[in-house]
Structure 1
Amino acid sequence: MHGRTRNGLLRIATALTVVAAAQVAASWTTASAVACTNPSWNRFNPEADVADYIVESEGKVFKYKHVFRRRDSGAGAGQLEYQRQTVAGDPNSMTNWRLIGDGIQMQGAPSAIQNRDGRMVVFITTDYYTAGNGEIYFKYELNPGQGDWSGWITLGGVGGSNPEATQNYDGRIEVFVRGIDSQIYHRWQYLNYNWNPDWGSFGGDFTDTLVRSESGRFRSDKKIVIHARGDDCISYSKWQSSPGGNWYPPTWWFQEATTN
């Protein structure tokens, strides 16, 4: 589910052996230079996001693919559209593209993930000039896998990158974004599906950043790990000190040994 974020970018055991180097400035390397030109690190990369709607029945897991993207042209250009499988695992069962943007212009790519109750949730960064002043919006399926959607709900904020949604070990969604002030922000769900009232800041100075994450639900240690690339083209990380808990390092970012 949410395949873009499941790449296992950080090996904690290896990383901790080089913690002494974490707080020093990185020198420019060939690897980091390549990363700077890698379009997957573009903070508004207009890629589609593919999320799996997962159904378990009689010990089997069935995955229905959902694809979300920003419509490039024609009626509804700049808004969110999606398609989905009607038969699990069958690429020939994809529906036609359907516009679900409700008139809201978005930037870059969406981020979609399945909620604990089985409904798909999709997040966008609104167009700073024409929609919601860069606010993060989300909408959700009214019924799991049926293709009917709520209206947009705003989480506020002022986003300067694509949103990045992931899950805590207990299934609660957490969403990350780079703000236009170059800091990384996050906001998270409560168990009752409400959201904490404000965006929390991780600080930093990420002037060319796309946030990526690893799900606490699917990692063996149950902790979310987040990655953000700085303007030095080096990837930096934070992770939960315990499943669903506080974040480590508490006041700075761990510099990764390699750049992806």
Structure 2
Amino acid sequence: MKSLVAVAAGLVLFGSSTVAASPSRAAGWSGWEDLGGTLTAGTTVSSWSSNRLDVFVRGADSAVWHKWWNGSSWQGWESLGGVIIDNPAAVSWGPNRIDLFGRGTDNHLWHRWWNGSSWSGWEDLGGIITAGPAVSSWSADRLDVFARGTDGAVWHKWWNGSSWQGWESLGGIIIDNPAAVSWGPNRIDIFGAGTDNHLWHRWWNGSWSGWEDLGGVITAGPTVSSWSANRLDVFAKGTDNALWHRWWDGVAWRGWESLGGQFLHNPGAVSWGPNRIDVFVAGLDNHLWHKWYA
């Protein structure tokens, strides 16, 4: 499919009670949940265990704000400080561990982490990035960060367990933040919105593939989650400002399907177990909105 066609009957207007019929294959999707807050960029989310969610956003003060689901209720908001441009990025590589990244006002990559008892300070990782970053982890103490450089290409920096490596260029030309996920050791899948507004995909399986055109017409950076080996769920904002979904089922790419809503910026998504996905967006009211598949 080469374009996302606005389907009026599929929209859910945040702040209204209008809920339309679900699209095909969406019987497992919840409605939209309003989690409040005031967001000024796209969101990100990580999970370190079953039924745990940590969501990070840029607030009205340009600081990073954090809200979390502890398995029974939503907690927060708490400020993690800093001053960032665009969306943050977060990943968890083990219980009680979160690594958080953002683009500073100096256009450097900045890093802060939770070690189970406290948050570190902010660490300057340099570079010159021109959109919000993305991060993935394929094992304990491994981090792969991706960002758009001044040349519009995707650039990669990684933590190998003892030191930061990089930067290296992965080429391409993207118009917003990339998205990344790891579904197994030595595997990374990255996605971006190309200058043609198509979804583009590249992967690492011991060496980097070329770029693959997955079509669609997306109007902000995508997000991606994975609930098991060889499973990918990609979400993006369409021309109708709704959330659109395309997935790799291990054999072929499926979709696109509309999940409705009207939102700003880029979405965030995570999977914490088989057949579970949590997606977050900034609504037109600048609140954090949540939808899940189970």
TM norm structure 1:
0.66
- Match for residue 247 of structure 1? 253
- Quick check: which one's strand share is greater? 2
- Match for residue 123 of structure 1? 146
Q: 2:120 aligns with which of 86, 95, 98?
A: 95
- Match for residue 226 of structure 1? 234
Q: Which has the higher relative contact order, 1 or 2, with Cα contacts under 8 A spaced 6 or more apart?
A: 2
Asked if residue 68 in structure 1 is aligned to residue 68 in structure 2, the reply is no
- Over 3 Å counting, the alpha-carbon distance change for 1:38 and 1:238 in structure 2 is farther
| Identical positions, percent | 22
For residues 185 and 152 of structure 1, the distance between their equivalents in structure 2, rounded to whole angstroms, comes to 21
Q: Hey, which bits of structure 1, 4+ residues long, moved more than 3 A?
A: 32-35, 37-42, 168-171, 257-260
Shift of 1:96: 2.6
Q: 1:78 aligns with which of 91, 107, 113?
A: 107
Shift of 1:124: 0.6
Shift of 1:30: 5.9
For residues 123 and 68 of structure 1, the distance between their equivalents in structure 2, rounded to whole angstroms, comes to 10
What SS class does the counterpart of residue 248 from structure 1 fall into? strand
Asked if residue 31 in structure 1 is aligned to residue 13 in structure 2, the reply is yes
Q: Is the 8 A contact 1:205 1:230 kept in 2?
A: yes
Shift of 1:169: 5.6
- Match for residue 208 of structure 2? 195
Please tell me the residue identity of whatever aligns with 1:238. Answer: R
Asked if residue 157 in structure 1 is aligned to residue 172 in structure 2, the reply is yes
For residues 174 and 124 of structure 1, the distance between their equivalents in structure 2, rounded to whole angstroms, comes to 14
Q: Deviations over 1:14-50 (max 9, x none)?
A: xxxxxxxxx8641285617999x975559x9712222
- Match for residue 128 of structure 2? 105
Please tell me the residue identity of whatever aligns with 1:188. Answer: W
Q: Is the 8 A contact 2:157 2:165 kept in 1?
A: yes
For residues 152 and 199 of structure 2, the distance between their equivalents in structure 1, rounded to whole angstroms, comes to 14
Q: Is the 8 A contact 1:135 1:154 kept in 2?
A: yes
What SS class does the counterpart of residue 13 from structure 2 fall into? helix
For residues 90 and 42 of structure 2, the distance between their equivalents in structure 1, rounded to whole angstroms, comes to 17
Q: Deviations over 1:165-223 (max 9, x none)?
A: 01236661101111122111010111x2x211x110111222x22312221438xxx62
Q: 1:136 aligns with which of 154, 171, 174?
A: 154
- Match for residue 51 of structure 2? none
For residues 14 and 87 of structure 2, the distance between their equivalents in structure 1, rounded to whole angstroms, comes to 22
Structure 2 regions of 5+ residues with no counterpart?
Answer: 17-31, 33-37, 44-83, 263-280, 282-294
Query: Structure 2 matches for 1:21-60, cutoff 5 A?
Result: 25-27=6-8, 29=11, 31=13, 39-41=40-42, 46-54=86-94
What SS class does the counterpart of residue 168 from structure 1 fall into? strand
Aligned-pair Cα RMSD in Å: 3.2
Please tell me the residue identity of whatever aligns with 2:86. Answer: P
Shift of 1:70: 0.9
For residues 106 and 157 of structure 1, the distance between their equivalents in structure 2, rounded to whole angstroms, comes to 15
- Over 3 Å counting, the alpha-carbon distance change for 1:241 and 1:215 in structure 2 is closer
Shift of 1:236: 1.6
TM norm structure 2:
0.59
Q: Is the 8 A contact 1:137 1:155 kept in 2?
A: yes
Please tell me the residue identity of whatever aligns with 1:185. Answer: W
- Quick check: which one's helix share is greater? 1
For residues 33 and 26 of structure 1, the distance between their equivalents in structure 2, rounded to whole angstroms, comes to 19
